[in-house]
Amino acid sequence: MTRKVLLVDDDAAVREALGQTLELHDLEPVIAGSFVVAKDHISPAFDGVILSDIRMPGRDGFHLLDHTRTVDPELPVILLTGEGDIPMAVKAMGQGAFAFLEKPCAPADLVGALQRALKTRALVLENRRLKVQLEAGDPASRMLFGTSTLAEDLRHRVRAAAATQAEVLVTGAPGSGVSKVAEVIHLMSKAGQGPFVKRPAAGLKPGDLEMLCREAAGGSLFLEEIGALPERTQYAALERIEQGAGARVIAGTTADLDAKVEDGAFSADLFYRLDVMRVRIPSLKERPEDIPVLFRHYAAQAAEQAGLTPPEILPEHLAELMARDWPGNARSLMSAAMRFVLGTADEVGGDAGAGLAEQLARVERSLLAAALGRHKGRASAAAEALKLPRKTLYDKLARHGLKPEDFR
């Protein structure tokens, strides 16, 4: 977190005393004796807060506050006065001051107000950074988050799928974002300027399919949970694809479609036609290192929707989140972020009774599972990536009930 404080006061003795107080509390004062000097430091990129006296010759603290609000309305300004003037305090708060303190101010009160302002500033700058990251690059970069190898591999496969005109099968666990990935593929493909028609496959009749193809002409037709497509419609779908559907067909499933084919519950011919380009979405359990960036994004999004300032996300919160399995994947993480922002959950992740040993064990299990997932169940490669002897890896896998073959 940033610790920079732009300290503005025309009295050199006061500046020195306040500067020493800030340094004693591990804050970094940037000294200015007037508005003219201070304004050169004020910009949307300033990674700190402002502490200013009100009564100064020439342009006073209110001028400084007005200027700051013009440059960056989200840059916190704390105003100091020795007057004890209540109307002045009301005016300061009404003009957008973060806080108003009376001199002489107790160090604990001063530092407490500054620390609250610094936390607010850090959150604002982090949210801006994430927004810039989202707005940069192609839809895969903007909409599919994560810094892990698996996340980058997903973006690579999405780009590869979008570059072809072939049918695509998107697979993933419930809540992992199958529909979202399908939409990104559509947006990045040649059909991206056309319509994106999304319909559940369950209950579709052959006639419905024909109508949907016309509706999606020139764009993409996304069939959700393709494994639930009725048998007679499966054959109609195969026929439409082979004859030219008039739209790019993208199918999605959270079920094991390979098993359905093997059991005879789904047409093998249609399956192989759809499985020309498969895009598998890794679960959060496989990539716990992506949870912090996802949670920050969802929290910022939830706060914006609710018109709230996102609460501070502490490192221990993120560690607890990474320790969970998240069977609901992105959907449940998004829900947790919303509860966190609204203050309706005591703990970000849930199990408040878990001790340090249990939380560390959960994090270790998540990292082991992520390594196995990245290396498709190859224990030797996972051991090398984690810098563990193979015997130690196998001991840890046995302790956590993990089997390499489950990740192949």
Domain-wise residue ranges, the chain: 4-134, 139-282, 285-407
How many other C-beta atoms can be found within 10 angstroms of the C-beta atom of residue 29? 20
- pLDDT of amino acid 220: 93
Q: List per-block mean pLDDT (blocks of 10 residues) for the chain, which spans 408 residues.
A: 86 90 91 90 92 86 90 91 69 80 86 89 76 62 78 91 93 94 91 91 92 91 96 93 87 94 94 94 90 88 79 78 86 89 60 55 73 81 86 85 78
Angle (CA) 211 213 217, round 5°: 120
Superfamily covering domain 139-282: P-loop containing nucleotide triphosphate hydrolases (3.40.50.300)
- pLDDT of amino acid 135: 59
The rounded distance, in Å, linking the Cα atoms of 58 and 201 is 71
Q: Whole-structure pTM over 0.85, yes or no?
A: no
For residue 174, the SS3 value is coil
Contact in structure between 7 and 1 (CB atoms under 8 Å): no
Between the two ends of the chain, the Cα-to-Cα distance in Å is: 41
Q: Please count the residues of the chain.
A: 408
For residue 308, the SS3 value is coil
Contact in structure between 78 and 65 (CB atoms under 8 Å): no
Whether 4-134 shares its CATH topology with 139-282 is answered: yes
For residue 81, the SS3 value is strand
Please state the φ and ψ torsions of residue 260, each to the nearest 5 degrees.
Answer: -65, -40
Class of CATH domain 4-134 = alpha beta
- pLDDT of amino acid 348: 43
- pLDDT of amino acid 403: 82
> Checking DSSP bridges between strand 48-53 and strand 4-8, what pairing results, if any?
parallel
Smallest CA-to-CA distance from 84 within 59, 55, 112, 111 is with 55
CA dihedral 248, 253, 259, 264 (to 10 degrees): -60
Contact in structure between 326 and 283 (CB atoms under 8 Å): yes
- pLDDT of amino acid 234: 95
Contact in structure between 331 and 175 (CB atoms under 8 Å): yes
CA distances to 256, 340, 364, 379 from 294, rounded to whole Å, are 26, 14, 20, 28
- pLDDT of amino acid 89: 67
DSSP 127: H
- pLDDT of amino acid 196: 93
Smallest CA-to-CA distance from 119 within 80, 74, 69 is with 74
How is domain 285-407 classified at the architecture level of CATH? Answer: Orthogonal Bundle (1.10)
> Checking DSSP bridges between strand 168-172 and strand 99-102, what pairing results, if any?
unpaired
Produce one character per residue of 222-243: b if its CB has 16 or more CB atoms within 10 Å, e if not. Answer: bbbbbbbbbeebbebbbebeee
